[in-house]
Structure 1
Amino acid sequence: MVSLFGRTGLVTLAATATVLLLFLAGGTFALRILEDAREQRTAVNTSYAIMEDLLELRSDIHEMMAARDQVLLGTPEPYRRTMAAARARVMGEMAALEAAAQGDAWQQSLLPQLRHGVMAMLTRLEQTLRFAGRGDAVDLLLLLREASAERMRLLRLADQMIARERSNLEASNRAYTARVRQARSIIPVTFGAAVLFALAALWGMHRYRHSNAERYAALEESKRATEAANAALAENRSRLQSILDHARDPILLLNERDQVQLANAAAAEQFRMPLTDVIGQSVRAFIPDFGQPQREVEAHRADGAIFPAELSIGRYEQDGERGCVCVLRDVTERHRLDAMKNEFVSTVSHELRTPLTSIRAALGLVTGGAAGALPQPAGELLGIAHKNAERLVLLVNDILDIEKMEAGRLEFRRERISARQLLEQAVEANRAYAGQFGLRLEIEGDPAADAEVYADAPRIQQVLANLLSNAAKFSPPGGVVEVGLTVDAGSAIFRVRDHGPGIPEAFRSQIFQRFAQADSSDVRQKGGTGLGLAISRAIVEHHAGQIGFEDAAGGGTCFFFSLPRLVERPPTQPVASSQARRVLIVEDDADVARLLQMMLSQHGWEGQVAHDAAAAFAELGRQHFDALTLDLMLPDEDGLSLLRRLRQRPDGRGLPVVVVSAIADQRRRALNGDAMGVVDWLDKPIDQGRLREALHHALRASAEDGPATILHVEDDDDICHVVSAVMGDEARMQPARSLAEARAALAGGTRFALVIVDLGLPDGSGFDLLPDIQALRPSPPVLIFSASDADARMTRHAAATLVKSRTENRLLHDTIRHLIEAAPPASQPKEAVL
């Protein structure tokens, strides 16, 4: 306002407004005085009316008293009429008084007394007239006195009311006089002030009129400056739009309501709609999940197409306004390349692991003496080949592990195990490798230090192997690598200390990164992929542990990692051979569990009850059992999940299991034989005879004489020969090189104790063979032995899974042996599902 009118204009406006306000106030005051005068006149008229009625009342009272006296003196008739007329006037005057005094509370309080006095006086007059002719002078005299007393009281009361009205009139006159004097003093002052402000307004208008030219000149200058600023802003906006339009990724500028304020040409092209239509739209029209804590989202185009995009958001606040800048990058091509990479890795996995498995296993058998004694030169050469085959296997496994780690598919099968056992096994497994460098592996520290951890033993062995191999590579020949285990309140800490040159300072921050290797010749010549420590960190962190390193006292480096320790459990009591066979009853219903104990005790079994999965595994860790009964509905874990975990334990792979549950038959039909290793499925209520028969089958050895027959579905002849050599005379191997051959073998009537399946076959996936295997009664257990890692869907249908190039000959032999021994005999009832 100041910039528009100037200070003079404001003064003029203020003065004019003040004059108007003064005139308005004066008019209001005059109206108030007129209203007071009207109210004053009304009050005066009311007071005069009341006084007039009171005076007339006094007069009529005197007239009645005079007429009474005339009647008593002997002239009754005319004066009786006079009294009647006066009486009527008195009653009318009382009514007029009551009407006039309605607005006066004080007068209203006296009127009842006045009316009462008038009525009392009239009554006495009537009584006086009645006694006048009887000659009873005494009574008449008393009545006259009482009438006179009533008249005096009435007159005094009337005089009091008249005095009150006179006082009111005087007060009203004084107030009115004061208001008039006030008006006489205010009106001149108001008029003078109005004149002064009118003069000020005229002066201001005069000043405003003379300052118009200067003001308009300033406005013109301001207009020119604004136009120049707008031109610069438009140029900057055009430059910004040009920069944005040259960006290859869609860029969106959003306001605080997430509406698009600015967008580039790439956004219009990506969303396939005109740029003008993009502006003003809600960003959720293009990115429905906008605002969610995720980096990759699904973006929608105008034609309904959806594409994956990487979203980057930068928020800002400027001049009180909030908003954000969104950069969107189409990652469709990246996903395509990832899919190609995964396909390539899968191909490499199969094409490398399969021949490596053959080479490694064959060399292991030959160097182990399976083919007889070898000449010393040939033995040395084969030993070199076996050693380098092991190195190549480790290299391939590291590359495939890092790929699975990036994809989040690194699988773990954890169990309760001794930390010291893990350490000692790792030391024994790597002594030969350390011996190649002229080193010794020694376990230092307290030999009694131990704790149980919940870990995937092969993966922890892999971590220890990586740390031990690194220590062996970088330690001086003839030295020692010290390995130790310490236990505190919450963790078991593994340590591997070398006496090498230490880790360069510049390399410490990236030592756990992928493909990280110190860039010096004495390190590069040691070999390795640079993936071992990155994989080790991923494994340890998956176990909720930590890994690190520190400089060792006296030189060298000490690597360490920790695993959370488990609660101690009492030591396992040895079971005497003379004791009864033991069965673990996994049942949450106490009455049913007790019933099972009683049934089993009648047939020579000793039952131990576990009411949930946690208690079951605790009992399995404390003592040995010959069989297990399982309820599928447990409070802490599904029964089938417990069964799968059981089959992953070394002591649970061959443990016979009898399902006893209210939903046994329902789950058996739904699974269609997927739960491998179940001797029988018993519904509640329990058939005692069938329970006895099931346990009898669980302990019965295979009815067939001679070695078991195994169907090996594998298209690589070398792998078939190696597996056959690993098993030796313990099994008869029947090969099938395709799905068609395998189906023909399964339909031929031969009872197979085990089916070993490779997933990658020439005419399809080995997974497609599982329905044919499950259709057999009884269906044999399935061992997946493939170059590719089996996913959860596949492992659910298999009794065990092994990965080529990761599986030592001994582990392959033991797994096959466990699965054969766990298979029930052919005489098992048709309802049994293995």
Structure 2
Amino acid sequence: MKIPLKRRRFSRRTVVFAALALALLCVLFVLGRPLPFTEHDTYRAQLRQLRMDSTQLDQRILQYHLGLPNATDAAPEDFVRLRQQAQALRTTPSYLSSKEQQVVGASLNAYVKTLVEGEMLLSNLRGEAARQRERRERFEREVSALTGQLPAGAARERARALASAVRSNADKRDGPAMEQALTALTAMTAEFPGEESADARLEAEARALLTHARAREDMLLRMTKEYPLGPQAETVISSYLRLYEGAQLRSERFRVLLFIITLLLVAFVLEALWRLSRTGEALDALNAELERRVEERTQALSAANTELRESEARKAAILQSAPDGIITLDEKGLVLDFNPTAEQLFRLPRANALGRDFLTLSLSAAVKPEQRAQLTRALHADTPPGQATRLEVPALRTDGGTFPAELTLLRVRSEGPPRFTTYVRDITERQHVERLKNEFISTVSHELRTPLTSIRGSLGLLEGGVVGELEAPVLDMVRIARTNTERLIRLINDILDLEKMESGMLELKPQPVDSAELIETTFSGVQAMADAARVTLVARADDAGAVRADRDRLIQVLTNLVSNAIKFSPVDSQVEVRAARDARGQVRFSVVDQGPGIPLDKRARLFGKFQQLDSSDSRSKGGTGLGLAISQAIVEQHGGHIEVLGEPGEGTTFTFSLQAVRQGSGALSRMTDDSRHTLLVVTADAELSGLLRGLLSQEGYRVLRTPSLDEAARLIGEGEPDALLVDPRGMEGRDVDFVRRLREQPRGRELPVLMLAERAEGGIQPLLVDWMKKPLDEGRFLHTLRAIIRQPGQARVLLVDDDVTTRQVLRARLEGLGAICFEAEDGERAVALARVTPPDLIVLDVNLPRLDGFEVVDILRQGKGRGTPLIVFTGRDLSSADQHQLTLGNTRHLIKTRTSEDTLMTSVKELLNGLLAQRDHGRAPHKELS
């Protein structure tokens, strides 16, 4: 089929193009107009008037001060008028460019400057003329005085003539003539005795008159040469005329350029019209070609439709058999398609689902607002295609039931309106498997940790010689057993930490922690390992300051990194730990070793769980592969990230940054924190300091350490600790004087002091609360420490249970052991009693009126009761999360139906840690004053 062409009629596009060309020609005509001559004539007339007025002013000033007849001096109004004329000339013609306007402005500034300086010089000239007149009058008075004393007659007339010659020559600035006349006058008056003083005064006035005349001449000459207003005005006119000529030249060039552009535009329009006339013939040929191609495309389209139907059939089969629910949505979130699996999941026929809002249809009311908002954002039209949003949410069925679902929502790559595909998977079975796995790990870990702790303690006592010296082979076997027990405990702790991190239950307790103290504590824990590997530990933390972090967790991170560095360092090398504050207000920690380095392609696996490098060297070093994963998770919860630097063969650097504490926060802020008991340890032994810090921190104490007695005195003065632990080694007897001075001060009179000595010193016994032999017995040490911090008296037990019978039975058994019991029937009463009389042990039921057991524990954690031993004695089965929340100090979780009274009493005796023995066999620790 032919397409008819109308050759002789111009198209609308051609008409529009011609109109635009005509409009453009008009614009070019307007732009090509010559410069506005009226504006130029006006401005040039103002410049000429300025020049004429300036020249006249110069002439008047010169004539007046030369003493010409009928000459008048310049008035201030003349200078004001010239400044006004110059200011008016600053409004330059519009055809000058900004740079040219600046040139004109600069010449006007020079003119105004000359005008101001000339006015100032004229003022000085007037002053000099006035002084010259004053000198002339004084000269005349001196002449009259001198001639009046001369005898009348020819001598007096002769003297007056000479004086007139002196004054005339001085006014004419003729120095030699004035000196000659002055000499003749002096010689004449010398004939008359007694006139010497009058001659001297007359000579001084004559010379002063000559000086003023010459100064006035210099000023007038300077004014005519340096500050002439007429030439300066001529300079302004010349500058403007040069700029005007340049503007005219630019205007002429611009008009020529516009004329050329106009000719080119006309030629282009003519060319376009000519080509338009030739288009018809080409269209006829294209019409035939178009018909042929349409026929070919029709055949190809028919084949494509057949293939498309087959593809749609395959897609439909996939959708029908897919194990996941597949739902197609439009840009408003309305359902466009609903596969059979989705019908089964939501218990909703496809026909009833089409056209309904997907989020309203599928999401349960239990979905968190932030998850719902995330899904809403994923349905926006500006979401990039292919970007998936995956969430686990409770999905709603039409029968009112819910099921855990994994929703994956992404925008489909397609033309036209946005389309979204949602994949819905029922993860009930998967969550059940994960829950079983987590419960298994938690149960095994918790059940193993308690006996392993006891085994480790028993082996430690055997190794320490509590039951007597062991033979070398037996001691080696005990040491191997203890080492592997500790390794197993670390593995269990790592598994529990991973469980907490994955479940989001890892609680951080951020506080200001000194960077140098963190590194020192870390070194004290791994020093034995470094000595065995013959590796030197180096700390560089000068001026790093403090960071805000969970102290124990950060030590765990540094211990993992340093122990790994020691394992992979060669013999007689060093491991360096650095801490430095950067410009961003952060402290960067770096652990640098001299080991073989880590290949770049294997660094991505370092922080995975149970991951180790495959090389035989790495395998031979041992390890579980959990330390770096846990360290990375801890640092990320602090807002940082561990990075690995270094080239293979050149060592490895593990580094991360944490937020620094603002400068100025010192020991006072740490000591005045009442959330825990604060213990001040005075020792120069880094190993003992690390041992005490680990032991006491695990018991809930806050530990401060200093090697100096003077620093200890300062800390006690700033904020009183709850107890003082002193290691006298290396103090050369100064510890006795220190304790004696401490007892003489009001702040230290009642402070408990525990001396950690090889043996008791009788001379200082009256000054101390107690003393402890080394090596320390951990159980006895903790018992003694609790005894000196607590109030004196029998062991105090707080019974918290809403059942009266249970409280009576427990009270009878505990009083039989020698304890004093306090009873609380609800949570509020329990908190009040614990605050008034801090107990040595709390036996707590969970189900309580007012405040339940969880709330009681949360409240007690906020104060110094956080380290109180606790027995949770309840009939409720507790999950691992419940047990984690129901924890204070040393805590036991016992079920009433599964626990015998003997087991309960055994736990009471263990947690009271020997306090029960004081009633019959011992005495309560007390504080004695010197």
**TM-score normalised by the chain length of structure 1:** 0.47
Of structures 1 and 2, the one with the larger relative CO (CA 8 A, separation 6+) is 1
Task: Decide which structure has the larger Cα Rg and report it.
Answer: 1
